[in-house]
């Protein structure tokens, strides 16, 4: 269980703590209570892979028997990078003096030491438990490494429809929380993204408007927060609904992929609602970089759904004309949702360092920051923070129900 130093106990966590994930920081300690995604199984070959996670330099590998290992990147002998190590003899062997480590970090051999040396037994390199689930590799970097909490059974990874995919990892060079809290800010969808998918097809035209915003609600959930956007529906007593979920520590589920990117017939979709799960797992490399791992799961009737989606996404090129004198870094960006997000989030600076003037339409962001700060406090004091699964829930499938479609308005 995480210990809180007396000094820390009296100091309250603030939103300025959220972006910082290094060891010993409040947010870093909190993040380490959960399993985090550190790689994609299909991208891990028979060579070690350097990866920075939560400001720690690590090396991910499979030993020759297929067992996954995640060790400190630098050899504990004299620091050479184990990214260049050889995978052999039941572990990973540093190329400099041949120290050999198994996936638990235990040193097995030191070829240059006397044959009867007991020193190898005494050297245990930094190692973290690793598990694979549905094509993603998760690590637990927290305090209970000998008896870690269960890895949640994430819906789109363990209960797959007939069609699923893990998208290529995306890398970004700004703070992880700028990305994460963006989903608590639905106003940006109608404004920033009006150049892209929205407003150019039937669902967007019905639902999103720069001048006539949907109604936004922000609902605190066991896992974090849900954003609910509604507009009057096609028949009296109905409403269009578009939801996004933010699950702690860093998962976003967006429900409207079929409507916005697949551009499927809205009339047909309205009957059934979305049948595509689109989960993004955010893993901070450090305070200035993060990785984004995306798992998609489709249970609807469309054949070859992801091939079609890919072809359509490729057509979503920015539509902006760029003049020869325009040397701005993110040009062109208008017309591609991912580029629009990248430009806006990548130029914000760090939460807590930038100055802000929050308004009524930021109430989702304000609420979400409070949920995260409360979760950090809970974790810091040894409690179970939101979104963390305990042993009693280990067999349950972890779901984020994120509805998109039309529903009958229920009057309370
Ligand atoms: S630095 Fe790795 S074995 Fe010497
Ligand atoms: Fe966005």
Q: What is the pLDDT along the chain (412 residues), one digit of tens a residue?
A: 445 555 555 579 999 999 999 999 999 999 999 999 999 999 999 999 999 999 999 999 999 999 999 999 999 999 999 999 999 999 999 999 999 999 999 999 999 999 999 999 999 999 999 999 999 999 999 999 999 999 999 999 999 878 999 999 999 999 999 999 999 999 998 888 877 655 455 566 566 677 888 899 999 999 999 999 998 888 899 888 889 999 999 999 997 777 776 666 666 667 778 888 999 999 999 999 999 999 999 988 888 988 988 888 887 788 889 999 999 999 999 988 889 999 999 999 999 999 999 999 999 999 999 999 999 999 999 899 999 998 999 999 999 988 888 888 876 6
Nearest ligand to the C-alpha atom of residue 80: 1
Burial of 358 (0-12, 13-18, 19+ CB in 10 A): exposed
Q: Global pTM? A: 0.94
99 in contact with ligand 1, CB cutoff 6 A: yes
80 in contact with ligand 1, CB cutoff 6 A: yes
Of all helices (H) and strands (E), which one includes residue 369? helix 363-380
Nearest ligand to the C-alpha atom of residue 197: 2
92 in contact with ligand 1, CB cutoff 6 A: no
The predicted pLDDT at position 175 comes to 98
190 C-alpha to ligand 2 centroid (Å): 9
- 288 conformational bin, left if phi > 0, alpha if psi -120 to 50, beta if neither: alpha
Phi, psi of 380 (to 5 degrees): -65, -30
Distance of CA 356 to the CA centre of its chain: 25
77 in contact with ligand 1, CB cutoff 6 A: yes
188 C-alpha to ligand 2 centroid (Å): 6
- Residue 115 CB neighbour total at 10 angstroms: 5
Q: Which domains does the chain have, with CATH numbers?
A: 35-140 (2.102.10.10), 153-408 (3.90.380.10)
94 in contact with ligand 1, CB cutoff 6 A: yes
74 C-alpha to ligand 1 centroid (Å): 9
Cα 105 to Cα 102: distance, rounded to the nearest angstrom: 5
38 C-alpha to ligand 1 centroid (Å): 25
93 C-alpha to ligand 1 centroid (Å): 9
**Core vs surface per residue 304-324: b (16+ CB within 10 A) or e:** ebbeebeeebeebebeeeeee
96 in contact with ligand 1, CB cutoff 6 A: yes
84 in contact with ligand 1, CB cutoff 6 A: no
């Amino acid at each position: 269980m995480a210990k809180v130093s007396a000094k820390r106990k009296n100091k309250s966590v603030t939103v300025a703590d959220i972006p910082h994930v290094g060891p010993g920081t409040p947010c870093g300690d909190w993040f380490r209570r959960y399993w985090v995604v550190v790689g994609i199984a299909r991208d891990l070959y028979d060579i070690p892979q350097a990866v920075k996670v939560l400001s720690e330099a690590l090396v991910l590998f499979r030993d020759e028997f297929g067992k996954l290992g995640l060790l400190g990147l630098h050899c504990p002998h004299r620091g050479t990078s184990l990214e260049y190590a050889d995978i052999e003899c039941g572990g990973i062997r540093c190329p400099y003096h041949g120290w050999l480590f198994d996936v638990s970090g235990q040193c097995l051999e030191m070829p240059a030491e006397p044959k009867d040396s007991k020193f190898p037994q005494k050297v245990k390199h930094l190692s973290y438990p690793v598990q694979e689930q549905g094509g993603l590799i998760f690590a637990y970097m927290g305090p209970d490494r000998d008896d870690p909490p269960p890895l949640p059974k994430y819906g789109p990874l363990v209960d797959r429809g007939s069609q699923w995919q893990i998208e290529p990892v995306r890398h970004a060079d700004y703070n992880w929380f700028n990305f994460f809290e963006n989903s608590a800010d639905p106003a940006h969808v109608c404004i920033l993204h009006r150049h892209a998918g929205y407003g150019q097809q039937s669902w967007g035209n019905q639902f999103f408007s720069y001048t006539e915003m949907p109604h936004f609600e922000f609902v605190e959930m066991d896992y974090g927060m849900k954003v609910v956007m509604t507009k009057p529906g096609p028949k009296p007593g109905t409403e269009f609904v578009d939801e996004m979920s933010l699950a702690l520590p860093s998962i976003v589920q967006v429900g409207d992929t079929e409507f916005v990117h697949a551009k499927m017939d809205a009339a047909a979709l309205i009957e059934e609602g979305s049948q595509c799960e689109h989960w993004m797992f955010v893993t901070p490399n450090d305070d200035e970089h993060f990785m984004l791992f995306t798992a998609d799961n489709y249970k609807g009737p469309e054949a070859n759904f992801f091939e079609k989606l890919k072809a359509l996404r490729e057509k979503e090129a920015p539509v902006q004309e760029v003049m020869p004198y325009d040397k701005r870094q993110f040009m062109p960006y208008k017309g591609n949702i991912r580029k629009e997000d990248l430009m806006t989030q990548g130029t914000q600076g760090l939460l807590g360092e930038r100055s802000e003037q929050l308004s009524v339409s930021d109430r989702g962001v304000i609420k979400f920051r409070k949920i995260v700060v409360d979760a950090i406090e809970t974790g810091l004091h040894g409690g179970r923070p939101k979104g963390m699964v305990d042993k009693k829930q280990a067999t349950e499938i972890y779901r984020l129900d994120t509805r998109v479609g039309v529903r009958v308005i229920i009057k309370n």
